[in-house]
Amino acid sequence: MNLDIPHYTHSDIGRIAQTFLNQYHPTGEIPIPIEEIIELKMGLNIFPFPRLYKDHRLNGFLSRDRTTIYVDEVQYNQFNEKYRYTLAHEVGHYILHKMCYDDLSLGSPDEYAKWRLSMPPEDIGWFETHGDWFAGHVLVPTDRLEKVCREVVEKYQDKFSKFEVIPDDIWSYISNEVATYFDVNPPVIEIRIKKANIMTKVPIGV
């Protein structure tokens, strides 16, 4: 069985994510209240599932009828940033992959995990990449990211200006602080900075 997945580009998903935010969070205030959007505005259920990752190696999954997002209970209780990312990732599947779920008949985490393993690597690769791209765009909108990066860089500009050579890992350092504004883990910010070309838009040490 092959998944009938449209091969969206990163830019395509950025536009879809922005439309999503315009509808469900028009103020654009950060951090994006993804849990509130899902439960109160989209009318979906969030269900903390015991041992979901330990037993099935799943952070979360969207039910076949697209009414419930199951998320690992430990993540739900202890790892807020990862939990928020998992929610946004699964909303990505809800928005982007309706046609896939219409063809599924999966009723349990075990069935879902086995289905994923049975899929051609290219298909499941696109499926999960779309979810990651959507989560990144929704939780870290490009316009807000550039604004926050400018604020953080300006905050430390005196220090940066003293560097004879800007360290290669300077944006990793900056990402740690920027991440706190968006309530995500720093690697999410690092990826978004690269994808959005923030490094060319926000000068350092000048």
**If you average pLDDT over residues 155-161, what whole number do you get?**
87
What is the dihedral angle through the alpha carbons of 17, 18, 21, 27, rounded to the nearest 10 degrees?
Answer: 160
pLDDT band for position 123 (cuts 50, 70, 90)? confident
Q: What is the mean pLDDT of residues 88-92?
A: 97
pLDDT at 35: 98
Q: Which whole number is the average pLDDT over 49-77?
A: 93
Q: What is the mean pLDDT of residues 146-161?
A: 92
Across residues 140-158, what is the average pLDDT? 95
Predicted pLDDT of residue 111: 77
Q: Where are the domains of the chain?
A: 10-139, 142-201
Spatial distance between the Cα atoms of 179 and 168, rounded to a whole number of angstroms: 19
Q: Give the lowest-confidence range in 14-28, 58-72, 119-133, 169-183.
A: 119-133
What is the pLDDT confidence band of residue 104, given thresholds at 50, 70 and 90?
Answer: low
Per-chain mean pLDDT for the chain: 90
pLDDT at residue 42, as a whole number: 97
pLDDT(177) > 60: yes
Burial of 49 (0-12, 13-18, 19+ CB in 10 A): buried
Q: Band of the pLDDT at 68, cuts 50, 70, 90?
A: very high
Q: Is 72 exposed, middle or buried (0-12, 13-18, 19+ CB in 10 A)?
A: buried
Q: Which CATH number fits domain 10-139: 1.10.10.60, 3.40.470.10, 3.40.640.10, 1.10.10.2910?
A: 1.10.10.2910
> Binning pLDDT at 50, 70 and 90, where does residue 118 land?
confident
